[in-house]
Amino acid sequence: MSFESLGLMPELLRAVADQGYTEPTPIQLQAIPPVLARHDMMGCAQTGTGKTAGFALPILQLLAPQQNASPSPARHPIRALILTPTRELAAQVEENVRAYSKYLTLRSTVVFGGVDINPQITALRSGVEVLVATPGRLLDHVQQNTVNLGRVEILVLDEADRMLDMGFMPDIKRILALLPAERQSLLFSATFSEEIKRLAGQMLRSPVSIEVARRNAPADLVTHRMYEIEADRKGLLLAHLIKSRNMHQVLVFVRTKRDANRLMRELLRDGVAATAIHSDRTQAERMQALEEFKNGTMNVMVATDIAARGLDIEQLPFVINYELPYAAEDYIHRIGRTGRAGSPGEAISLVCAEERRMLDDIERALKRKLERLPMPEIAGGGRPRSPRQSEERPGSSPRPARASVHTLPTPKPPAPIPSGGFDFNKPYEPTTTTGANADAVRVVPRSSIRRQTSALLGGLAAKKT
Ligand code: AMP
């Protein structure tokens, strides 16, 4: 099945071809025809399945008949509103909308908190047809009278489960009350709790339901491995694994922001190019971390669960759980970042005695045991320490994180990963794999990373027409 056969207009087909997409993903096959037919939709799909194009392409086609090049803001009312839980996801979605609409004269912009509101106001004042927003900042604009939602025809709630987890329900209700009752609504969520179903019941009318992945299904291609290790030796083992296996792009999960900072500093001291992403870092720092991780300057990104949600990170060969999450569901979200697009991935957990109960929960949720690996010989193994201990080590003189970064050798090009022969740099190739893994596709042009970052750093101007 091709994009042509889905009935998309030539301008969109050209844009999709420019992105390097050769065939629609399963969610796109399911979503595009009903959205074009103006149905409401309840979509069960995770980020990474191509769902953004699944809703953005048909929305742009529905808006296209009224596109115009008039300089008058009145001729560019907000006609599609896309709500996302996180700033990063909002920027990514708008980046995609921009790419898909490059041959149309429709305008888009993105608004989210944590950055100066004034460039957003300027962009909104000049008129945009597609607005991507996080709920809180959108309500700030409502309060300041800098946005008019009275002409919205299509609403998308992206990652609705995350929005609810993050406490956005009251904001969503306020926003829904500001929209015209006569509209098309699409709701996407990776899980369907009772609360999501209630929300869907309130905002959708006779929705078409689509689903592309089993609920909370861990990718079958992921190998789940673990080391049993004392808490104070985890740092040592982590650095050893990264170096000895020449891991060039690893997402490492910890539970708290403090641990993320400590572990990043410890890795830097150990000569590993590491950065961290968590909610205490400024927006600029978070975006710098993400870009450096994506472009390979940093081999390791230490993340908390909240900060990692919704990030569009290309398929990763490795995810390491430095600490297990309290909720087994978070383990599944974490490892969902590897084993995508038919490529094998490896999830490695460092488990100490205190985490035994969490491990039991995870193994129950996965319905399988994590493979126990024997402890490797570690050079300098007599230097046990945890991030906590190392930071408080008397007499230590930690170098500032930034300064050490630039003296570190960056392995380029990356050496092959011994396990599974996964090649991170290989472009996405459609596979004939069926099931959940066949849905995950990733093609992120480098230019798009730069654009996302500039958008998040405040470059929020509406698309030039
Ligand atoms: P999403 O789930 O929307 O975040 O998309 C995941 C990634 O897949 C993004 O980097 C998209 O650019 C990419 N993508 C979306 N549709 C396709 C397609 N049909 N073929 C190849 N890559 C795609």
* Residue 338: per-residue pLDDT: 72
What is the total count of domains within the chain? 2
Residue 435 covered by a domain = no
pLDDT > 90? residue 228: yes
Claim to verify: residue 264 and residue 143 sit in the same structural domain:
no
Claim to verify: residue 266 and residue 197 sit in the same structural domain:
no
Residue 171 covered by a domain = yes
* Residue 328: per-residue pLDDT: 84
* Residue 8: per-residue pLDDT: 97
Claim to verify: residue 172 and residue 232 sit in the same structural domain:
no
Distance CA 35, CA 6 (A): 11
Closest to 362 (Cα-Cα) out of 232, 195, 192, 225: 225
C-beta of 306 in contact with ligand 1 (< 6 A)? no
Q: Whose CA is nearest to atom 8 of ligand 1?
A: 442
How confident is the model over 44-69, as a mean pLDDT? Answer: 92
C-beta of 50 in contact with ligand 1 (< 6 A)? yes
Residue 271 sits in which domain range?
Answer: 222-375
Claim to verify: residue 154 and residue 255 sit in the same structural domain:
no
Q: Rounded mean pLDDT of the chain? A: 79
C-beta of 53 in contact with ligand 1 (< 6 A)? yes
Claim to verify: residue 205 and residue 257 sit in the same structural domain:
no
Q: Whose CA is nearest to atom 14 of ligand 1?
A: 50
Q: Could you tell me the pLDDT band of residue 220, with boundaries at 50, 70 and 90?
A: low
Quote the percentage of the chain above a pLDDT of 70.
76
Claim to verify: residue 13 and residue 161 sit in the same structural domain:
yes
CA 49–ligand 1 middle distance (angstroms): 6
CB 456 within 8 A of CB 91: yes
Distance CA 420, CA 418 (A): 6
User: Where a domain ends, among 342, 375, 408?
Assistant: 375
Claim to verify: residue 25 and residue 174 sit in the same structural domain:
yes
C-beta of 312 in contact with ligand 1 (< 6 A)? yes
CA 144–ligand 1 middle distance (angstroms): 35
pLDDT > 80? residue 357: yes
Question: For residue 19, which atom of ligand 1 is closest to its CA?
Answer: 12
pLDDT > 50? residue 117: yes
Q: Which of 215-224, 343-352, 379-388 has the lowest mean pLDDT?
A: 379-388
How confident is the model over 358-387, as a mean pLDDT? Answer: 77
C-beta of 442 in contact with ligand 1 (< 6 A)? yes
Residue 399 covered by a domain = no
Sequence-ordered strand ranges (E) for 352-396: 371-372
User: What region, left, alpha or beta, does residue 61 occupy, with left being phi > 0 and alpha being psi -120 to 50 degrees?
Assistant: alpha
* Residue 283: per-residue pLDDT: 76
How confident is the model over 381-393, as a mean pLDDT? Answer: 39
C-beta of 142 in contact with ligand 1 (< 6 A)? no
Claim to verify: residue 169 and residue 302 sit in the same structural domain:
no
pLDDT > 80? residue 452: no
C-beta of 452 in contact with ligand 1 (< 6 A)? no
Claim to verify: residue 71 and residue 144 sit in the same structural domain:
yes
Check which CATH number belongs to the domain holding 119 and give it. 3.40.50.300
Claim to verify: residue 204 and residue 235 sit in the same structural domain:
no
Claim to verify: residue 118 and residue 231 sit in the same structural domain:
no
Q: Using CA atoms in the order 58, 64, 65, 69, what is the torsion angle rounded to 10 degrees?
A: 170
User: Where a domain ends, among 211, 234, 262?
Assistant: 211
pLDDT digits (tens, 9 = 90+) for 289-327: 888 888 888 999 999 887 776 566 656 788 999 999 988
Distance CA 290, CA 284 (A): 10
